[in-house]
Amino acid sequence: MTKSRKLTPVYLWLLAYFRPYLRLLVLLILCGLTISLIQLAIPKGIQYFIDEIIPGRHYSLFWKLIAAMAIAVLLMFGAMAAQNLLRRVIQEKASRDVQFDIFRHLRKLGFPYFEKRPIGESLSFMNTEVASLHNFYRWLVPGMIEMTLFVLLSLLLMLSISVQLALVIPPCLILYYCVGPTIERKAALLSRSTAEHRVQFNQKAYESVASLTELRAHHAEAWDSERLQDKQHSFLQVWVRALWFAYWRGTVRRLSNFSGAIAIIAYGIFLVQNDLLSTGGMAAFLMLYFQTMHQLTVVITLITEQKIMLAQAEKIYDFIQTEPDVKEAVECVELPHISGEISLSNVGFHYPDGTKVLRNFNLAIHPGQRVALVGASGNGKSTLLKLMVRFYDPQQGEILLDGIPLRQLSFAQIRDSIGYVFQETYLFGASVRDNILFGNPEASEQEMIDAAKAAYAHDFIMALPGGYDTELGERGVKLSGGQKQRISIARLLIKNPAIVLLDEATSALDNTSEQEVQSALDRLLAGRTTIAVAHRLSTVQDYDAIVVIRDGEVAEIGTHAELMGRQGEYFQLASGAGLRKSEVVI
């Protein structure tokens, strides 16, 4: 398949974003047509002035012509203003639609996609790549339509003035086409490269400022400055080359245009001398020639820019076509009530790189039961939680919620019924109120306060400068780890899920904060099905069941007392390293 045929679906996909704005696009083209007709009428008016008004001394017609041209120019400026506004509106709306589609697709993609790619790549689709489409929606398509119409009308007008003189134009185009497109392509590529290098330099500059404390602590300012200078040097090299080719692009255009103009003047004088062309006709033809050649060379530039832009847009297109790893059923089963029963039957799971995590894993969790998952790192404890909330699907076996396979339930019902407390809580850069109500936006003020009190968060919230209206900053930077977790717990209390998943929720906290959060968790977990990845055995000794996982399989299961009595793997974990059993970290 040729490159152009490969890019055809990309082009059609981009054009589809014009569909909601066809009326605006038609208005834009009409504005362009109006401008073109006026621009073409002015040379004809000058021809009439030279050939008719001056020889016949029709001065009354002269003032009428001036008045008509003045009105036409005013109309043209009005159309230009409308044209510029419409271009901006179409650009912003179509680009916004692309951004929203990217964002919606990002949300559909499974976690394997994000684990294989850096966050910066996803953000690049939202910003850098979409920014490259601005010109497509503002200039490339509307501009090509408008300018092509102008060129066709202008050529017809020039042919009507003098067919012989019009024959001079093709050699001028051939002269430009021999060199012009190559330089246009190189200039456009270097322009894109300059933008990319500028982004890289800005990213490095941001990193240098953000890491200032670390750099000073290691006395590494010189090392960092050298890296920054390397980025700046690379940018300047590309920038100078881009300027050089931009200069030659303009030079080739002017050389082609002026060569044609000289030929037209020379041949035009010959035609005028032999009464084959009027003086006014020659003046009008020369004006039309300069306008047409300018528009033609711009069209060639736009075609070149469009090809390069399509190559960039292909990345977005391929991304949009990426199928999610985890898909929602077309027709979902809707459970009237979720009691919280979870069953895992012969579950097997491996990551995209082939690393096996779970093998024939079987576990039955009853409604309201509290189950702890313990074992060495890398044995699949956190993976199990992610499977239960359908961040991933197992390659083998089945997970059932209240007797129904998770694959048959809607994402909304699964995730509305499950509360997930992560090791590292994410708080939004908004107020305390907004962060708690994130769990249930429909909750009342009193319900929010009750949830905060139950999570032992109300007192420290009221001590903040703005209470519940205090802005927390990016990722809740103004709060301690324990305070963040208690707001997270308040968020889940107000959500009121049937099932709670705890992924080492207190592992990153100091002893004081852990005790405060543990007290809040005790209230949260009351009466709910709970599956916890344990960090300290002391936090799960009173759980209904403790599951010891080894090599992705259930090694032992029972209560704390039962497992200690068996003196098996759990006993070894609890007794290891000579620590007291209540303080063993696993």
| Distance (Å, whole) CA 320 – CA 100 | 11
pLDDT at 506: 59
Integer-rounded Cα Rg, in Å, for the chain is 35
Tokens representing residue 166 in the block: 């019009």
Above 80 in pLDDT, residue 126? no
pLDDT at 47: 85
Q: From its phi and psi, is residue 53 left (phi > 0), alpha (psi between -120 and 50) or beta?
A: alpha
pLDDT digits (tens, 9 = 90+) for 462-478: 888 888 888 877 666 67
Average pLDDT over residues 410-439: 83
Amino acid at residue number 538: S
pLDDT digits (tens, 9 = 90+) for 326-372: 888 888 888 888 888 899 999 998 877 777 888 888 989 899 888 88
pLDDT band at 147 (very low <50, low <70, confident <90, very high): confident
> Which CATH number applies to 18-161?
1.20.1560.10
pLDDT at 79: 92
Q: What is the mean pLDDT of the chain?
A: 81
Which helix (H) or strand (E) segment holds residue 499: the answer is strand 499-503
- Within 10 angstroms of residue 435's Cβ, the number of other Cβ atoms is 23
Tokens representing residue 72 in the block: 């036409």
| Distance (Å, whole) CA 382 – CA 485 | 18
Residues 6+ apart with CB under 8 A from 534: 372, 373, 374, 504, 540, 546, 586
Average pLDDT over residues 384-397: 87
Strand arrangement, sheet containing 356-365: 356-365, 342-350, 396-401, 404-405
| Distance (Å, whole) CA 247 – CA 253 | 10
Burial (0-12, 13-18, 19+ Cβ within 10 Å), 561: exposed
SS3 62: helix
Amino acid at residue number 60: S
Least confident among 35-44, 258-267, 480-489, 544-553: 480-489
Average pLDDT over residues 111-131: 67
Average pLDDT over residues 204-221: 75
Global pTM reads 0.68
SS3 annotation, 312-333: HHHHHHHHHHCCCCCCCCCCCE
Q: Which residue has the higher pLDDT, 504 or 225?
A: 225
Amino acid at residue number 171: P
pLDDT at 586: 44
| Distance (Å, whole) CA 29 – CA 31 | 5
Which of these, 359, 347, 336, lies nearest to 409 by C-alpha position? 336
The full set of domain ranges for the chain reads: 18-161
Distances in Å between the Cα of 203 and the Cα atoms of 198, 208, 214, 232 are: 9, 9, 17, 11
- Within 10 angstroms of residue 233's Cβ, the number of other Cβ atoms is 12
pLDDT at 417: 87
SS3 annotation, 356-370: EEEEEEEEEECCCCE
Which of these, 383, 380, 388, 387, lies nearest to 342 by C-alpha position? 388
Burial (0-12, 13-18, 19+ Cβ within 10 Å), 87: buried
CA 262 to chain centre: 51
Q: Which long-range contacts (CB under 8 A, 24 or more apart) does 172-178 make?
A: 172/256, 172/257, 172/259, 172/260, 172/263, 172/293, 173/256, 173/296, 175/255, 175/256, 175/259, 175/260, 176/252, 176/253, 176/256, 176/297, 176/300, 177/300
pLDDT at 513: 57
pLDDT at 300: 75
Residues 6+ apart with CB under 8 A from 98: 17, 130, 133, 316
Q: Which long-range contacts (CB under 8 A, 24 or more apart) does 106-111 make?
A: 108/324, 109/322, 109/324, 109/325, 110/324, 110/325, 110/326, 110/391, 110/392, 111/325, 111/386, 111/391, 111/392
Q: How far apart are the first and last CA of the chain?
A: 56
Above 60 in pLDDT, residue 485? yes
Longest Cα–Cα distance of the chain, Å, equals 121
pLDDT at 216: 79
* Residues present in the chain in total: 586
Tokens representing residue 555 in the block: 């090694």
| Distance (Å, whole) CA 293 – CA 162 | 17
Select, from the ranges 304-308, 375-379, 533-537, 542-546, the one with the highest average predicted confidence (pLDDT). 542-546
pLDDT band at 309 (very low <50, low <70, confident <90, very high): confident
Which one-letter DSSP state was computed for residue 422?
-
